[in-house]
Amino acid sequence: MQALVTWEVPQVGFELGSSCKFRTRSRRKKIEVVGFPVCNGGNGDVLLGSEGFNGSRKFGFACGCFSGHSRLKLARFCEPKKGSFGGSFVVAWALEKQAIGNVVLVEEANPENRLSGECEGEGVVAHRNVDGRKGRDGNDDDEIGIGGQGENWEQRNEKIDVRALALSLQFAKTADDVEEVLKDKGDLPLQVFSSIIRGFGRDRLMDSAFAIVEWLKRKKEETNGFVTPNLFIYNSLLGAVKQSGQFGEIDKVLSDMTREGVVPNVVTYNTKMAIYIERGQSMEALHVLEEIQEKGLIPSSVSYSTALLAYQRMQDGNGALKFFVEFRENYRKGHIGKDADVDWEEEFVKLENFTKRVCYQVMRRWLVRDDNLTTNVLKLLTEMDIAGVPLGRAEHERLLWACTREEHYIVAKDLYSRIREKHSDISLAVCNHTIWLMGKAKKWWAALEIYEDMLDKGPQPNNMSYELIVSHFNVLLSAARKRAIWKWGVRLLNKMEEKGLKPRSKEWNAVLVACSKAAETSAAVKIFKRMVEQGQKPTILSYGALLSALEKGKRYDEARQVWEHMLKVGLKPNLYAYTTMASIFSGHGKPNMVDAIIDDMVSAGIEPTVVTYNAIISGFARNGFSSAAYDWFDRMKAQNIPPNHVTYEMMIEALAKEGKPRLAYELYLRARTQRLALSSKAYDTVVQSSLESGANIDVRLLGERPPERMVNGQGRNTSSQVS
C-alpha cells in the first residue's frame, strides 16, 4: 500500500499559539510510522534517533519514537509563536531546552523527495488518510498505533483541537476532573497528552499535568493496559517539572515510573541531570551521567553537553576541560560514537566548541568576581593550549574587555600577546582598552610597548590611542616634576618625540618645574628653548619655572630679561611670578626694585602673602643683607601678615651670621610665645652663636632642643626652605 499521511500538530497554550504542519512531498510511498512533531525555537533540519517498541534502543539527541523503525530520519522543525506550548528540543550542546520523548520519524525519502514544515495559526491536529489503502497487517494505515491504542480517527476524518482540549483541561486537579472533560472524546493518541503535559509545564499548571497522568493510570486499569502512561508520557512529565521549576516533584515522578514498571531511557536521565543543575546540584547531575553508564545505556550527546553545563554552573573550567579531554580520548579510541544513527563527527565538533564556551564563560565570571582569580585564568588558558582546545580571537578579546581592575593587567597582557601571536588582526578598541588598563595598573612602559606595536604592526592609533598614551606620559612627567627628577623628565620628552607624540605645554612645563626644583638652571634654559623651537607657546607657568631656575642659579640679569620678555608678549604675571622676581631683586641687593615689584603687584590686584615676604627676606638674608631682611620683617608685621616658622628660622640664621646673637635669641623666644615649632637647626644656631660671641643668655628659656625633622624617612637638621 502507498499512502500519504499528513499530521497538523499545534504547539498549544492558553494564549494564541502556533501550529506546525509537516508534509512529505514525495512519490506515494508507504510510511510505516506516524510521527509527532515538536516545535522548538528555530527552523532547521534535525537528525533524530529512535527507540522502537520492539525493545531495541537507539538514542538520538534526547528523543524516542513510537514504532520499531530504527533508521535515522530527517525532520524539519518550525518555530512556535511566543506564549504557546512547545516541546523543548535541543540539538547537541544547546542544553537548556531538551526534548522529552517526542520525535518526528519519517521514512527516508528518495533524493528528489523532501520534508517541509509550515507554521500555521490553527490549533488543531488533523490526521487524514489520503488514499484509504490498507497497511501491511491488513489494518488501515491511518490507524494510530501507539502501543495499540487509539480509534480510527482518520477513517472518520475528524480533527483533534489540541489547544481547545488543553484549555478545557487547564483547571483539572484530579483524574475525575480529566474524566469529566474526556469522557466523550474516545481514545485519543498519547501524543496529544504528551503535548498538553509539556504545555502545562511551561504555563506552570503542574496539578493539571499530574491529573492527566493519574487519569491515564486509571485508564490502564479500565482498558486492561490498552491505554497506559508509557515512557514518553513520563518523560514529558519530567520535562514539565523542569519547565515549571517545581523541581521537588522529580522524586515523585521517578517513583511513579518505578511503580508502573516503566524503565527510564537516556532521555529520562538527561532530564534528571538538567533538573539537578537547575536545583544547583551540579555534582548530583554528574553522578547521573555515571548512573547512565552503570545501567548499560549509551549516553547521548545531550548527556555529555549537560555534564559540561554542570561544570559551568560550578564555575569549574578545569573540570570541564578535563571532562572533554577524557571524552575526546574515548571517542578517538572508538569507545564513543558507535551509533550509526548519529553523526558523531558533527557532535564531536559541537561538544568541543561548547567546551570552549564553558571555559570562556567560567573565566569571564572569575574576572568579574570581587576576589582576585587572575592566577586561575592564566592557568586555565595555559591548560587549554596544552589540551589543544584554545580559544579563538573573539573569546580572547571579550575576556580582555572583562579585565578592568589593576590586578587584571597580567591577564590582559597575556591575552594581548596571544592575540598578536596567533591571529593576524586585533581590534583597535581592544588595543586602546589594554593601554588604558596598563596605565591604571601603573605599567606605563607596557602601555608604551602596545602603542609601539600599533605603530609597527597595526591597527594604526586613533585619537583615543594618542590621548591615552599622552595621559600616561603626563603621569610619569608629574612624578618627575614632584620628585625633581629632571633627567627622567627629559628622557620622557625625548621618548614622546621619538614615538611621534608631540609634547604640549603641560608636558614641557612639568620638565621645566623639575629642573627648577633641582636648581638645574642650564637644563631649564635648554628645555625652554626646545619648547619654543617646537612651536609651543610658553605659558605663565613656563616663565615662572624658568625665572625660579635662573634665581636659584643667581643668573639675575638673564632673569630680568626673561621677565621683560614675558611682559612684552602680553602675559600677566601671577603671584608666583611676582614672588620669584621679588626674590631675584632682593638676592641681587636691589631693594628699590623689590619695592617696585611689590607696588606693581598690588596695582595688579594681587596681595603679597607670607610666601612673598619670606622670599624677599630669604633673598636678602642669603646674600648678607640682614638689615634689609629685618626691615622687611618689620614691614611684614605692619601689613598684619603674621610670620611663620620659616620666617623666624631665616631671620635667626641671618642675624647669627651678622654677629647679632642677642637678636637671634629674642626672635627664638618670640616664636616660642607664638607657639611656632622651630627646627633643631634654629635652636643650635642660637646656642652656638651665643657661645661664640660670649653673649649672656638663659638657655633654659629656649626649652628642650626640638627633634630633627624627618625628610623621606631620614633625619635632617635644617630649616624649611621657601616654597
CA dist 686 and 486 (Å) reads: 36
Write the burial class of residue 520 (CB in 10 Å: 0-12 exposed, 13-18 middle, 19+ buried). buried
Tell me: pLDDT of 69 over 70: no
Residue 387, CA distances (Å) to 322, 336, 391, 397, 512 in order: 9, 19, 11, 21, 56
Q: Is residue 444 part of a domain?
A: no
Same domain membership, residue 587 and residue 553: no
Answer with the one of 619, 642, 665 that is the final residue of a domain. 642
Domain extent, residue 599, equals 573-642
Same domain membership, residue 684 and residue 604: no
Contact 367, 383 (CB under 8 A): no
Q: What digits encode the pLDDT tens for the residues 391-428?
A: 999 999 999 999 999 999 999 999 999 999 999 899 99
Residue 308, CA distances (Å) to 223, 314, 365, 391, 521 in order: 44, 10, 16, 16, 69
369 pLDDT tier (thresholds 50, 70, 90): very high
Count how many Cα atoms sit within 13 Å of the Cα of residue 196 in the half-sphere of its side chain.
Answer: 30
Same domain membership, residue 657 and residue 619: no
Tally of domains in the chain: 3
Contact 105, 67 (CB under 8 A): yes
- 0.85 cut: is pTM over it? no
Same domain membership, residue 586 and residue 500: no
> Residue 109's CB: how many other CB atoms inside 10 A?
17
pLDDT for 710 equals 57
Q: What digits encode the pLDDT tens for the residues 132-175?
A: 333 333 333 332 333 334 444 444 445 788 899 999 999 999 99
Same domain membership, residue 674 and residue 578: no
Cα 245 off chain centre by: 29
75-90 burial string, b = 16+ CB within 10 Å, else e?
Answer: bbbbbbbeebbbbbbb
Same domain membership, residue 679 and residue 637: no
Helix (H, G, I), strand (E, B) or coil at 116: strand
Same domain membership, residue 467 and residue 547: yes
pLDDT for 258 equals 92
What does the DSSP assignment read for 508-567? Answer: HHHHHHHHHHTT-HHHHHHHHHHHHHTTPPP-HHHHHHHHHHHHHTT-HHHHHHHHHHHH
Same domain membership, residue 562 and residue 479: yes
Contact 661, 694 (CB under 8 A): no
Q: What average pLDDT is seen over the chain?
A: 79
pLDDT for 621 equals 87
> Residue 393's CB: how many other CB atoms inside 10 A?
16
Task: Quote the percentage of the chain above a pLDDT of 70.
Answer: 76
Q: Is residue 467 part of a domain?
A: yes
Answer with the one of 623, 642, 661 that is the final residue of a domain. 642
Same domain membership, residue 588 and residue 556: no
Closest listed residue to residue 41, CA positions, set 93, 94, 92: 94
Q: Give start and end residues of each alpha helix (H) in 223-371.
A: 231-244, 250-259, 266-278, 282-294, 301-313, 317-332, 344-368
61-74 burial string, b = 16+ CB within 10 Å, else e?
Answer: bbbbbbbebbebbe
3-class SS letters over 339-387: CCCCCHHHHHHHHHHHHHHHHHHHHHHHHHCCCCCHHHHHHHHHHHHHH
Q: What digits encode the pLDDT tens for the residues 521-571?
A: 999 999 999 999 999 999 999 999 999 999 999 999 999 999 999 999 999
Q: Is residue 678 part of a domain?
A: yes
Longest Cα pair distance anywhere in the chain, in angstroms?
141
Would you report the helix, strand and coil content of the chain in percent, each value rounded to 5? 55, 5, 35
Q: Tell me the β-bridge partners of 47.
A: 74
538-547 burial string, b = 16+ CB within 10 Å, else e?
Answer: bbebbbbbbb
Q: Is residue 669 part of a domain?
A: yes
CA dist 379 and 629 (Å) reads: 69
Please give the span between the terminal C-alpha atoms of the chain, in angstroms, as a whole number. 108
Answer with the one of 547, 571, 595 that is the final residue of a domain. 571
> Residue 25's CB: how many other CB atoms inside 10 A?
11
